[in-house]
Amino acid sequence: MELTRRLWSGVLASCMLLAAPGVPGAQRFITVSSTTSTENSGLFRHILPVFKQRTGIEVRVVAQGTGQALDIGKRGDCDVVFVHDKAAELRMVKEGWFVERHDVMYNDFVIVGPKSDPAGIVGMKDAIEALAKIHDTGAPFTSRGDRSGTHAAELRLWKAAGINPTKATGQWYRETGSGMGATLNTASGMNAYTLTDRGTWLSFGNKGELIVALEGDERLFNQYGVMLVNPARHPHVKRGPGLAFIDWILSRDGQKAIAHYKINGQQLFFPNAKTSGR
Amino acid sequence: MLPLELRDVSFAINGRTLIDHVSVEIGAGPRTVILGPNGAGKSVLMRLCHGLLPASAGRIIWRGAGSADGSRQAMVFQRPVMLRRSALANVVYGLKLAGVSRAERELRAADVLDAVDLSAVSGRPARVLSGGEQQRLALARAWALNPEVLFLDEPTANLDPNATRDVESIINQICAGGTKIIMSTHNLGQARRLGDEILFLSHGRLVERSPVEQFFKQPASAEAAAFIRAELPWN
Amino acid sequence: MNDLNRAFAEAFGLIGALDAKLVEIVTLSLEVSVAAVAFAAVAGFPLGAALAVGRFRGRGSIIVLLNALMGLPPVVVGLVVYLLLSRAGPLGEFGILFTPAAMVIAQAVLVTPIIAALSRQTIEDAWREYEEQLRSLGAKRLNAAFTLLWDTRFSLITVMLAGFGRAAAEVGAVMIVGGNIDGVTRVMTTAIALETSKGDLPLALGLGIILVGLVIMVNAAANLIREAALRRYG
């Protein structure tokens, strides 16, 4: 057993030598598990250099759907989790997987759909009623179907409308089982409605016939939270640098960096941290 | 390790008998030529003797002293297989497998390449040599092992007359060094030039064994007589 | 058609500008895949040679298995390697998940069956040609295996190329174990997947064109070496 272990370390060490990126060992970095929506929107590329400049800490972002992003955190494969499924986040903090959870910012979801608007929801203000109309008219709707934060939000809306769309899976309701971008590509390809976060939508390049059909309903607000993987469960977690990141993103400086990120003059994320650092 | 005794040896594959109850004793000294038409079983018989094929029945025994396992033997094939390395390295390779010390390998290999007149190309890749050169190299590779017995399976079948003459001359040199030559051919002229005794094979059976002069003058079997008659005009 | 034109324009634009980001991604792609193929060769060639010249029980089943494993789905390999390297997994203590090393391991796992299976075929064909000669010279099977590995070295270059093509083209495994971290584990294929999900299809396709061009160049270079060597060594 000992020998096998040594052998493995040898093999792994030589892998590192061969394939390690040009990163000197002394450099400090943390791994942040986040969602495709934040990564795809370009937010991280905007704010992380600021953080690096302040602290010298490099942030490596692994972007997955919220479900997988949380799982990566539970397994201890990252230091900080930055996602948008508040209910799940709070539950997992209670279960002891994470500590130091804080609200960071919110953005909003929009319902996008084809210009022709077969369900006739353009101009409506109530997201629930709009979904009910899509259901009633049988207009195609694509869903992430991937346990992501966006998917969870969508399912909450359907539930509020008293509709179980999964019964119509494969008919007017199509689950792509993939990320926001892929789902938007699908919606664009088949002129379907879908629920998307505004950030991904704004930076999305393949809109085709799609337009924003409904926006502004408060129920479409999407809260992002940040939390540290519990070092008591995973001793290797980089507690100090991880907390430094959390502190910074909650600080006036970090919140300002978030607010400053715009695409085509539109602000994507609205900082709303309650504490400004500790 | 000679004499080599074959006791009632048969070899069959896929229900076809290729060697049929052959019994013979081959001693040191005279050059033995295994003669016979195509498909008579000459190559198979040599492979059985050399140990490349297992006999289906009967026994093959090296009765002499020393090397009871018959390890001091070598074989040169109709189409030599050259390794993708230099001519010299091909000879060295055989010596290495034979357990010759590193220091001695190169010396011996160089000597033997000189003897087959390949010194000039010893550094060339073996596979780009001409057919005749490759066969001489194959002889050198076998000769370097200083075998007690050398099997040659139709060694000139694919060569032109000049190359054939070179090969035959090398075979004679090897023989003169005390190595027992056992060679198969279907070429009567070659059998006459190189052979001291003839083993005549037909349909897997050993039909006749005679000294070479007697074989050509007065073959004892009707099959041999017919074979000589059929082949002679073209040789 | 318009999209395709834009994709080619993107591709040539990126190449022309020698975009630093692009160079970084291309370099990492090559490093990871080359390292993976190197490890896979170290494991796969001896295995292929052993299967080619060896005669033992279960040999046939192993060959069938290897041939089947050539079609291993990258995501499955990625998932298994992920679970092994995860902090919660048996090799978690090394902390190499989401590093290029993890990507090398995943691709090596993916490529090893390809190299083993194809080299087995190549070496077995050569063994048929060499067997009598080598046995006559007294070579045991182990000697023969090494001799054949060396003698088929030019054909084995092609085998490695097949492995390289597979490694360089796959996205499923490196996405999972590398995490597509900007500047750390982002390679050509994960970058393409990312740009696709952003809906920037021309850029994604442009990157794809560069990737294909790269693979063609590697193959052409290897082929030139092979041809020259064959001319030289016959």
Q: What is the pLDDT of residue B224?
A: 92
Nearest to A80 by CA among A64, A66, A101: A101
Q: Name the residue ranges covered by the structural domains of chain C.
A: 2-233
Flag whether the ipTM exceeds 0.95.
no
Alpha helices in B16-129 (DSSP H): 42-50, 87-97, 102-115
pLDDT band at A27 (very low <50, low <70, confident <90, very high): low
CA distance B43 to B22: 14
CA angle at B170 for the pair B102 and B120, rounded to the nearest 5°: 60
> What does the pLDDT average to over B190-199?
95
Q: What is the DSSP string of A2-68?
A: HHHHHHHHHHHHHHHHHH--S--TT--EEEEEEEHHHHHHTHHHHHHHHHHHHH--EEEEEEE-HHH
């060896």: which residue's tokens? Answer: C54
Q: Given C134, C136, C234, which is nearest B74 (Cβ)? A: C136
Q: Quick: pLDDT tens for A222-241.
A: 899 999 999 999 999 999 99
Closest-CA distance of chain C to residue B235, Å: 30
Look at A277 and A151; give whichever has higher pLDDT. Answer: A151
CA angle at C74 for the pair C73 and C76, rounded to the nearest 5°: 70
Q: What is the pLDDT of residue B174?
A: 96
Pair (A126, A79) in one structural domain: no
Query: E strands along A92-209, which residues?
Result: 98-114, 141-143, 173-175, 193-197
Pair (A58, A126) in one structural domain: no
Phi, psi of B218 (to 5 degrees): -140, 70
C133 in contact with chain B, both atoms CB, cutoff 8 A: yes
Q: Given C35, C88, C198, which is nearest A75 (Cβ)? A: C88
Q: What is the pLDDT of residue A11?
A: 55
Q: What is the pLDDT of residue B14?
A: 93
> What does the pLDDT average to over B120-141?
96
CA distance A73 to C194: 22
CB contact under 8 A, C196 and A40: no
Pair (A127, A203) in one structural domain: yes
pLDDT band at A9 (very low <50, low <70, confident <90, very high): low
Q: What is the pLDDT of residue B231?
A: 75
Pair (A209, A135) in one structural domain: yes
Chain B residue with the nearest C-alpha to that of C151: B84
Query: E strands along A65-138, which residues?
Result: 80-83, 98-114
CB contact under 8 A, A60 and C179: yes
Pair (A127, A257) in one structural domain: no
CB contact under 8 A, C153 and B84: yes
- Chain C residues with CB inside 8 Å of B141's CB? 137
Q: Quick: pLDDT tens for C156-165.
A: 999 999 999 9
CA distance B47 to A66: 71
C55 in contact with chain B, both atoms CB, cutoff 8 A: no
- Chain C residues with CB inside 8 Å of A236's CB? 87, 95
What are B's interface residues with C at a Cβ cutoff of 8 A? Answer: 47, 50, 52, 71, 74-75, 77, 80-85, 93-94, 97-98, 125-128, 141
C146 in contact with chain B, both atoms CB, cutoff 8 A: no
Q: Quick: pLDDT tens for C32-47.
A: 999 999 999 999 999 9
A277 belongs to a structural domain: no
Pair (A177, A115) in one structural domain: yes
Chain C residue with the nearest C-alpha to that of B127: C234
> What does the pLDDT average to over A191-204?
91
Which chains reach chain A with 3 or more Cβ–Cβ distances below 8 angstroms?
A: C
Please count the other Cβ atoms lying within 10 Å of the Cβ belonging to residue A255. 22
| Radius of gyration in angstroms for the set of CA atoms belonging to chain B, rounded to a whole number | 18
When mean pLDDT is compared across A9-23, A37-51, A84-98, B143-157, the lowest value belongs to A9-23
Closest-CA distance of chain B to residue C232, Å: 7
CB contact under 8 A, C199 and A206: yes
A12 belongs to a structural domain: no
Letter string b/e over residues B145-179, b meaning 16 or more CB atoms within 10 A of that residue's CB: bbbbbbbbbbbbeebeeebbebbbebbeebbeeeb
A44 belongs to a structural domain: yes
When mean pLDDT is compared across A30-34, A233-237, A251-255, B186-190, the lowest value belongs to B186-190
Nearest to C52 by CA among C151, C114, C140, C144: C144
Look at A24 and B98; give whichever has higher pLDDT. Answer: B98
pLDDT > 70 in chain B, percent: 96
Q: What is the pLDDT of residue A12?
A: 56
Pair (A131, A171) in one structural domain: yes
Chain C residue with the nearest C-alpha to that of A15: C101
Q: Quick: pLDDT tens for C97-109.
A: 999 999 999 999 9
* Residues near A211 by beta carbon (within 8 Å), at least 6 away in sequence: A112, A113, A114, A115, A122
Pair (A100, A193) in one structural domain: no
Q: Quick: pLDDT tens for A102-119.
A: 999 999 999 999 999 999
Which chains reach chain C with 3 or more Cβ–Cβ distances below 8 angstroms?
A: A, B
Chain A residue with the nearest C-alpha to that of C25: A21
User: Mean pLDDT score of chain A, rounded to an integer?
Assistant: 88
User: Chain-centre distance of CA A62, in angstroms?
Assistant: 11
Query: Are A81 and A102 spatial neighbours (Cβ–Cβ below 8 Å)?
Result: no
A with B: touching (≥3 Cβ pairs within 8 Å): no
Q: What is the pLDDT of residue A8?
A: 55
A11 belongs to a structural domain: no
- Chain B residues with CB inside 8 Å of C233's CB? 84-85, 125, 127-128
Which chains reach chain B with 3 or more Cβ–Cβ distances below 8 angstroms?
A: C
CA distance B121 to B119: 5
CB contact under 8 A, C101 and A19: yes
pLDDT > 90 in chain A, percent: 70
Q: What is the pLDDT of residue A157?
A: 95
Positive/negative CA dihedral, C44, C49, C52, C55: negative
**Is residue A22 predicted with pLDDT exceeding 50?**
no
Q: Let me know how long chain C is.
A: 234
Q: What is the pLDDT of residue B186?
A: 86
CB contact under 8 A, C234 and B128: yes
Closest-CA distance of chain C to residue A106, Å: 20
Pair (A231, A212) in one structural domain: no
**Is residue A1 predicted with pLDDT exceeding 80?**
no
Q: Which domain holds residue A244?
A: 29-107+223-271
What pTM was computed for the model? 0.84
- Chain C residues with CB inside 8 Å of B94's CB? 137
CB contact under 8 A, C137 and B71: no
Tell the CATH superfamily of the C2-233 domain.
MetI-like (1.10.3720.10)
CA distance C151 to B127: 11
**Is residue A24 predicted with pLDDT exceeding 90?**
no
> What does the pLDDT average to over B13-35?
95
A251 belongs to a structural domain: yes
Region of A268 please: left (phi>0), alpha (psi -120 to 50) or beta.
alpha
**Is residue A203 predicted with pLDDT exceeding 90?**
no
Q: How many structural domains is chain A composed of?
A: 2
Positive/negative CA dihedral, A16, C78, C83, A96: positive
Q: What is the pLDDT of residue A167?
A: 87
**Which domain CATH number covers A260?**
3.40.190.10
CB contact under 8 A, B50 and C136: yes
**Is residue A26 predicted with pLDDT exceeding 80?**
no
| DSSP state, residue B227 | H
Read off the amino acid at residue B11.
Answer: F
Q: What is the pLDDT of residue B68?
A: 53
Written as six digits, the tokens of A32 are 């942040």
Q: What is the pLDDT of residue A6?
A: 52
Pair (A205, A75) in one structural domain: no
When mean pLDDT is compared across A16-25, A58-67, B210-219, C47-56, the lowest value belongs to A16-25
A4 belongs to a structural domain: no
Pair (A121, A212) in one structural domain: yes
Look at B165 and A39; give whichever has higher pLDDT. Answer: B165
Read off the amino acid at residue A83.
Answer: V
Residues with pLDDT less than 70, chain C = 1
Q: Given A178, A203, A236, which is nearest C87 (Cβ)? A: A236
When mean pLDDT is compared across A11-25, A250-264, B129-143, C163-177, the lowest value belongs to A11-25
Burial class (CB in 10 A: 0-12, 13-18, 19+), C104: buried
Preferred mutation among B48, B97, B105, B141 to probe C, highest tally of C CBs within 10 A? B97
Query: Between chain B and chain C, how many beta carbons pairs sit less than 8 Å apart?
Result: 49
pLDDT band at A275 (very low <50, low <70, confident <90, very high): low
Written as six digits, the tokens of B162 are 């000049």
Pair (A103, A237) in one structural domain: yes
